[in-house]
Structures are given as C-alpha cells and as structure tokens.
Amino acid sequence: MKLENNGLEGKQVDLNRLDDLMSSYGLVREGQWDYERVTYDRKFELKEGIYYLRVFGYAVEGDVGAHKALIQLLTPLLGKYYYPHGVEYGDGEHFPASLVKQSEKILSDINGELDKIVK
C-alpha cells in the first residue's frame, strides 16, 4: 500500500541526519542499503500478522557506504509479511485501519521534523 500525500516524496536530506531522524521514530536502516539506495523499516507485530512500514530513498549525490550522501526520499509503503515469501504491498492486501493511521502519523511527524532541517 502506497502511503502518499505525506510530504516525504522528493525531499532531499543528508544521510546521517536522516539515519538519526528515522531511528528516533523506530525506522532502522540496518543492512538494507547499497551504495545508491537506502530502505528504512519499522516492524509491526499485530494479531492480524506482521507488517512493515518502509521508507525508500536513493543517493542523488555521494555514496551511502561512505556515509556521505544526499538522499532523495520516495513514496513510503506499508506491506504485509508472508513467510517464506517476503513482504507484499498489493491492493489485495488487508491493512488494519489502526495500523494505517499510526503509519500515517509517523510519516507526518517525520515530515514535520524534515521541514525544520531541509531547505
């Protein structure tokens, strides 16, 4: 499920500042990166299943591996995890309304913080 209209898509921010900000909202980068792309994940374990809020970005300048990059954010996604196949984001998936609302709030709060640091 695409989580649009939250203001994140297209914003550009320094990788190190982004890592700190995302971490403060429970979104971790861990090993989900290469030299040009990043993925921040927050895991939700509910009675309905396991879900992931994912925020993607790519380096418009610099190198992620060197921790010197300017990251442009893409549209965040909400997905449901299925063992052993992975995360599905499709329109046919059911996402609890409370999870969608919580995810939208997290993204809105992150956008507010980014507005303070991104020119």
Q: Which of 8-12, 43-47, 114-118 is predicted least confidently? A: 114-118
% residues pLDDT > 90 (the chain): 80
pLDDT of residue 105: 97
If DSSP codes are grouped into helix, strand and coil, which group holds residue 12?
strand
Provide CB contacts within 8 A for 61, sequence distance 6+.
Answer: 69, 70
- Confidence check: pLDDT of 32 > 80: no
pLDDT of residue 43: 96
Q: Is 83 exposed, middle or buried (0-12, 13-18, 19+ CB in 10 A)?
A: exposed
Q: Give the global pTM.
A: 0.91
DSSP codes joined into one string, 62-76: EETTTTEEEEEE---
Mean pLDDT of 57-79: 95
pLDDT tens-digit map of 73-84 = 999 999 999 998
